[in-house]
Copies of this chain bind each other. A is one copy, B any other.
Amino acid sequence: MNKPTSQSEFETPKVTTGPLPGSRRVYTSPKAGPALKVPHREIDLHPTANEPPVRVYDTSGPYSDPAATIDVETGLPRHRLAWYKDRQLTEYEGRPLSPLDNGGATGKYLAREFPATHKPLKGTDGQPVTQYEFARAGIITPEMVYVAERENLGRKTAVEGAAERLADGESFGAEIPEHVTPEFVRDEIARGRAIIPANINHPELEPMIIGRNFLTKINANIGNSAVASSVEEEVDKMVWSIRWGGDTVMDLSTGKNIHNTREWILRNSPVPIGTVPIYQALEKVNGIAEDLTWEVFRDTLIEQAEQGVDYFTIHAGVRLAYVPLTADRVTGIVSRGGSIMAKWCLAHHTESFLYTHFEEICDIMRAYDVSFSLGDGLRPGSIADANDRAQFAELETLGELTKIAWAKGCQVMIEGPGHVAMHKIKANMDKQLKECHEAPFYTLGPLTTDIAPGYDHITSGIGAAMIGWFGCAMLCYVTPKEHLGLPDRDDVKVGVITYKIAAHAGDLAKGHPAAKIRDDALSRARFEFRWEDQFNLALDPETARDFHDKTLPKEAHKVAHFCSMCGPKFCSMEITREIRDRFGSARAPNAVDAGMAEKAAEFREKGGEIYLSEDGKVREPID
């Protein structure tokens, strides 16, 4: 139920802060931009590892930095403003707020406005404003320098073995570099193969890049709802989802208070925020799809662009002529945006205003550098409907629109399905690359079967890992509640972690030069029984520790160099040490080789009981 709120009752959103276990947020500065502070996370290892900290990509923003002052009422520092000094941007009064922007909510039902107000900026005609325009003009922006440093995790040169790892992988024609340079970033953006979603009115952003020659990214959906959540909850969910690895967040809010909710989210978000503007436009016409007009939609685009939304889902590929193609489907049109536009087209029996006004949409989005996420309104909603004519007809139109958007100076990515059995996934990726001229693909899953509601993070995680490997640039998460209800905080976390797994599995398979570093560090920790390191290197250290403690709760179990697998009489690590001693090993000396024999003897004498029950036996979970 909607929580009654008023100016006085509205609470300051509470968000989760502090570092993740065993790690620190660190910053590096790129050579090409010494003033930039690019964030990463460093996980410290136990001294016996003889290894430097493991650096990983960090999406969590200042929230995980104890040195940062977090005040949700103020918002994050607007650090990008300093990067605009050479840009021809105009500050202006902006569109006045209308009561309809918040669905006409009043009194206790109206969410409090964000305390600070900022006048919007806008680009100038004839002067580059989007990252695409700068790239085409041969100009490297601070955003480009920033994302290059970020993709490299601050490394100044290629990682050792980069060429070998690339050669060992299978990238299906991607052109992943050994080391990401700002020039490479510029080239990829200029070719339309990558985007940096970064509205000039979202200066709180820590820029990131989406493209198949970069690390695979994931998106988390949040959104307030009259039925189920409040502004506070959504701000908390945004911070929570980026804490666990969300690279971008889509605000799918509906109902009342859309404008104010979005403002709180944007001002506190270090990651790009995406929206589906047709949702808010529909609210402005009281939910009646046929009452939508270009004017209402246009007004909504400007409203959201001025606030700083970084990318818009625009379902401009749902053309009138394609609507009948869905008649024989098992699940018709399942995209909400697609349904809205199909309804509108049918009611007026005329071409979609998103399609007929597409160039004007481009002009608006270009002026603020809002990136396109061309929506797949006709995506399949079931295994039965995958790869059908309706879906592919729309995809072909999205390719046509991509070229128009590029000609207008806009950044573009393309949304994809949905529900697709495994053997039809690659065809989606291949067709998207061909039809959409290598613009980045951004897919929902796909779900590889329809029979597991309650587990659709898994049915879709399978498809997401595969399409990520095949070349999909960003994976939109699916939570366990998909098809059934609204995700809560736990669902958001499970969705994010599942999709981090999918994205990383894809990067590994492509042969990304640095992806395997974390796997290897964790595997060494596992093999050497450095339990704390294994937890801390995990995508979800809290759950890993919690699961371990459920079986072996004692603190001593996490320092002992033995585990529940084999017990003190029989240790596979000791056997490997013996093998290495006897046959020699090219592996660098580490805890196993250096002092393990001694430690093992000590353990047998002193600590041998810690895993034992009365009968002196332990077990392993699996063989």
**Considering the complex, which residues of chain A in the window 180-231 have a beta carbon less than 8 Å from any beta carbon of chain B?**
221, 223, 225-228
Q: Could you say which residues of chain B place their CB within 8 Å of the CB of A510?
A: 423
Q: Could you say which residues of chain B place their CB within 8 Å of the CB of A575?
A: 332-333, 339, 342-343, 346
Residue from B326, B500, B582 in contact with A576 in the complex, judged by beta carbons closer than 8 Å: B326
Q: A423-B509, A462-B501, A506-B422 are in contact. Are A572 and B226 (CB under 8 A)?
A: no
A455 at the interface (CB under 8 A from B): yes
**Nearest CB of B to A517, in Å:** 10
**Nearest CB of B to A19, in Å:** 18
Q: Could you say which residues of chain B place their CB within 8 Å of the CB of A256?
A: 615, 617
Determine if A462 and B423 form an interchain contact, defined as CB atoms under 8 angstroms apart.
no
Determine if A570 and B287 form an interchain contact, defined as CB atoms under 8 angstroms apart.
yes
What are 11 A-B contacts with C-beta separation under 8 Å? A1-B614, A255-B618, A327-B576, A327-B587, A330-B527, A339-B575, A343-B570, A382-B526, A423-B509, A462-B502, A485-B548
Determine if B619 and A486 form an interchain contact, defined as CB atoms under 8 angstroms apart.
yes
A564 at the interface (CB under 8 A from B): yes
Q: A453-B544, A485-B547, A615-B256 are in contact. Are A169 and B458 (CB under 8 A)?
A: no
Residue from B276, B286, B567, B579 in contact with A327 in the complex, judged by beta carbons closer than 8 Å: B579
Determine if A527 and B484 form an interchain contact, defined as CB atoms under 8 angstroms apart.
no
Q: For the side of the interface on A, what is the size category?
A: 35 or more
Determine if B422 and A505 form an interchain contact, defined as CB atoms under 8 angstroms apart.
yes
Determine if B619 and A334 form an interchain contact, defined as CB atoms under 8 angstroms apart.
no
Considering the chains assembled together, what is the distance between the CA atoms of A612 and B254 in angstroms? Answer: 13
**Nearest CB of B to A376, in Å:** 10
Q: Could you say which residues of chain B place their CB within 8 Å of the CB of A328?
A: 585-587
**Considering the complex, which residues of chain A in the window 89-148 have a beta carbon less than 8 Å from any beta carbon of chain B?**
103, 105, 109
Residue from B329, B526, B551 in contact with A486 in the complex, judged by beta carbons closer than 8 Å: B551
Q: A255-B615, A384-B519, A422-B508 are in contact. Are A498 and B458 (CB under 8 A)?
A: yes
Q: Could you say which residues of chain B place their CB within 8 Å of the CB of A453?
A: 522, 526, 534-535, 538, 544, 547
Q: A331-B523, A566-B339 are in contact. Are A582 and B346 (CB under 8 A)?
A: yes
Considering the chains assembled together, what is the distance between the CA atoms of A334 and B622 in angstroms? Answer: 10
**Nearest CB of B to A551, in Å:** 3
Determine if A448 and B622 form an interchain contact, defined as CB atoms under 8 angstroms apart.
no
Q: Could you say which residues of chain B place their CB within 8 Å of the CB of A618?
A: 225-227, 254-255
Determine if A326 and B579 form an interchain contact, defined as CB atoms under 8 angstroms apart.
yes
Determine if B465 and A462 form an interchain contact, defined as CB atoms under 8 angstroms apart.
yes
Considering the chains assembled together, what is the distance between the CA atoms of A448 and B575 in angstroms? Answer: 26
Q: Could you say which residues of chain B place their CB within 8 Å of the CB of A613?
A: 1-2, 226-227, 255
Determine if A227 and B335 form an interchain contact, defined as CB atoms under 8 angstroms apart.
no
Please encode chain A, from 243 to 254, with 1 for each CB lying within 8 Å of some chain B CB and 0 for all others: 000000010111
Determine if B572 and A539 form an interchain contact, defined as CB atoms under 8 angstroms apart.
no
Q: Could you say which residues of chain B place their CB within 8 Å of the CB of A573?
A: 332
Residue from B221, B323, B384, B451 in contact with A621 in the complex, judged by beta carbons closer than 8 Å: B221
Q: Could you say which residues of chain B place their CB within 8 Å of the CB of A621?
A: 221, 252, 479, 481-483, 485-487
Nearest B-chain residue to A618, judged by Cβ: B227
A289 at the interface (CB under 8 A from B): yes
Q: Could you say which residues of chain B place their CB within 8 Å of the CB of A520?
A: 330, 382-384, 450
Residue from B223, B451, B488, B585 in contact with A619 in the complex, judged by beta carbons closer than 8 Å: B223
Considering the chains assembled together, what is the distance between the CA atoms of A212 and B603 in angstroms? Answer: 47
Q: Could you say which residues of chain B place their CB within 8 Å of the CB of A505?
A: 421-422, 448-449, 459, 462
A518 at the interface (CB under 8 A from B): yes
Determine if A423 and B511 form an interchain contact, defined as CB atoms under 8 angstroms apart.
yes
Determine if B567 and A455 form an interchain contact, defined as CB atoms under 8 angstroms apart.
no
Determine if B614 and A2 form an interchain contact, defined as CB atoms under 8 angstroms apart.
yes
A403 at the interface (CB under 8 A from B): no
Please encode chain A, from 296 to 313, with 1 for each CB lying within 8 Å of some chain B CB and 0 for all others: 000000000000000001
Nearest B-chain residue to A620, judged by Cβ: B336
Considering the chains assembled together, what is the distance between the CA atoms of A238 and B465 in angstroms? Answer: 31
Q: Could you say which residues of chain B place their CB within 8 Å of the CB of A550?
A: 481, 485, 488
Please encode chain A, from 438 to 455, with 1 for each CB lying within 8 Å of some chain B CB and 0 for all others: 000000100011111111
Most buried by B among A286, A585, A623: A623
Please encode chain A, from 1 to 29, with 1 for each CB lying within 8 Å of some chain B CB and 0 for all others: 11000000000000000000000000000
Q: Could you say which residues of chain B place their CB within 8 Å of the CB of A55?
A: none
Determine if B459 and A619 form an interchain contact, defined as CB atoms under 8 angstroms apart.
no
Considering the chains assembled together, what is the distance between the CA atoms of A226 and B616 in angstroms? Answer: 8
Considering the chains assembled together, what is the distance between the CA atoms of A250 and B259 in angstroms? Answer: 56
**Nearest CB of B to A613, in Å:** 4
Residue from B221, B382, B620 in contact with A622 in the complex, judged by beta carbons closer than 8 Å: B221
Determine if B540 and A455 form an interchain contact, defined as CB atoms under 8 angstroms apart.
yes
Q: Could you say which residues of chain B place their CB within 8 Å of the CB of A484?
A: 544, 547-548, 551
* Supplied contacts A105-B615, A279-B623, 8 more A-B pairs, CB within 8 Å: A103-B617, A228-B619, A287-B617, A382-B527, A448-B465, A481-B621, A484-B547, A484-B548
Considering the chains assembled together, what is the distance between the CA atoms of A522 and B459 in angstroms? Answer: 14
Q: A227-B613, A287-B567, A619-B252 are in contact. Are A450 and B523 (CB under 8 A)?
A: yes
Q: Could you say which residues of chain B place their CB within 8 Å of the CB of A488?
A: 550
Determine if A337 and B623 form an interchain contact, defined as CB atoms under 8 angstroms apart.
yes
Most buried by B among A289, A483, A522, A524: A483
Q: Could you say which residues of chain B place their CB within 8 Å of the CB of A523?
A: 330-331, 381-384, 419, 450
